[in-house]
Amino acid sequence: MRHLLDITDFSVKEISDLIERAKDIISNPSVYREACRYKKLATLFFEPSTRTRLSFEAAMFELGGNVLGFEAASSSSTAKGESVCDTIRTVSQYADIIVMRHPDEGAPFAAVLDTGVPIINAGDGGHNHPTQTLADLLTIYRRHGRLDNLTVGLCGDLKFGRTVHSLIRAMSNYDNIRFVLISPEELKIPEYITAELDKKKVPYKETADMAEFMPELDILYMTRVQRERFETAEEYERLKDCYILTPERMRSASETMSVLHPLPRVNEISHEVDSDPRACYFEQVANGKYMRMALILKLLSACEKGEEKPITFYPSDKKCKNLHCITAKEPELKSLKIIKDGKERCYYCESELH
């Protein structure tokens, strides 16, 4: 079974194939109108979404398939205490492919332990958001004609911004990529991401100053401060407006720089920037649907061919201490570990196990 839990589940070649397929869908939509006839996609959204859920649903409709699902945990039996694994075992009997978003880190990694169908991670807490990365990569490719030789600035909430984590992982596999990580100290990128960059020898700079590297950037990836992940409202209020992109700030940027944002936006990009030709966040929205169409086709095809990509993990006698991990909410889940960068990490959320 092939799933998409983390963007590194796909090789550079597979991502390149998805981009080519998405471009073909854009050029020849009628060819794909019946491609998923009689197939069912389940969208299980335990956390709010506009773009991801609706683009998956639009994608399946445009492939001629059907959609079932729920848009809030409160309207599913989760509200009665049902676990992720039991929910997935149930929905696997009704659907050919499952897309899930969950507030707890690692929930889709738990889901694949009990499924008979492909699982797509549509965002798990502050951990990963690989399908947003697919939308981001197609946008960058269509704008710049390449995914290598780029200086990529990521600005805002790099701690909880799951889209940032997935995008860094994906882009660090291309040649001559350099990252500029712009955040306040409290919202710095997690250690497990910088450990990977260090291991791959991918250059990056960390700064709190949005202006410092602006003229050098090919991409500026703005992010929202993730209110829902903060422990206290006071801390969020203190940090929420740490960076605001305005036309004045854009003046020092290159004419060919692209401004991306996964959306939703709150206050971090002034609406006056929207008319700047370098703003491409609504192109990302459109590209997301095409990449999700390509992804559904790929995973259903892999399922039919019986393709497999084994996931390697081991039993662990150490409990994960990350309070945002799915194991904190569902303690009956087995403690499992992976070995990454020479460290024992939780299989579900990748936190280091101590």
Residues of this chain that bind ligand CP (CB under 6 A): 49-52, 123, 132, 262-264
Distance of alpha carbon 318 from alpha carbon 345, whole angstroms: 10
* Closer Cβ to ligand CP, 52 or 92, answer by number: 52
Q: Which of 2, 21, 43, 52 is catalytic?
A: 52
Q: Which of 40, 129, 178, 292 is catalytic?
A: 129
* Closer Cβ to ligand CP, 115 or 132, answer by number: 132
Query: Least distance from C-beta 331 to ligand CP, angstroms?
Result: 28
Is residue 199 part of the annotated active site? The answer reads: no
Is residue 159 part of the annotated active site? The answer reads: no
Query: Least distance from C-beta 149 to ligand CP, angstroms?
Result: 26
Is residue 324 part of the annotated active site? The answer reads: no
Q: Say if residue 208 is exposed, middle or buried (CB neighbours under 10 Å; 0-12, 13-18, 19+).
A: middle
* Closer Cβ to ligand CP, 167 or 338, answer by number: 167
Q: Residue 95 in 3-state DSSP?
A: coil
Query: Least distance from C-beta 56 to ligand CP, angstroms?
Result: 9
Query: Least distance from C-beta 315 to ligand CP, angstroms?
Result: 33
- Do 43 and 67 touch, CB atoms closer than 8 A? yes
* Closer Cβ to ligand CP, 57 or 62, answer by number: 57
Pairing verdict, β 343-346 and 336-340: antiparallel
Alpha helices in 72-216 (DSSP H): 84-91, 107-111, 130-144, 162-171, 191-200
Q: Which of 3, 53, 101, 162 is catalytic?
A: 101
Is residue 354 part of the annotated active site? The answer reads: no
Is residue 101 part of the annotated active site? The answer reads: yes
* Closer Cβ to ligand CP, 92 or 284, answer by number: 284
Query: Least distance from C-beta 59 to ligand CP, angstroms?
Result: 13
Distance of alpha carbon 110 from alpha carbon 229, whole angstroms: 21
Name which of 157, 291, 146 is nearest 218 in CA terms. Answer: 146
Q: Which of 40, 51, 102, 261 is catalytic?
A: 51
Q: Which residues of 58-76 are buried (b: 16+ CB within 10 A; e: fewer)?
A: ebbebbebbbebbbebeeb
Name which of 123, 114, 104 is nearest 49 in CA terms. Answer: 123
Q: Catalytic site residues?
A: 51-52, 80, 101, 129
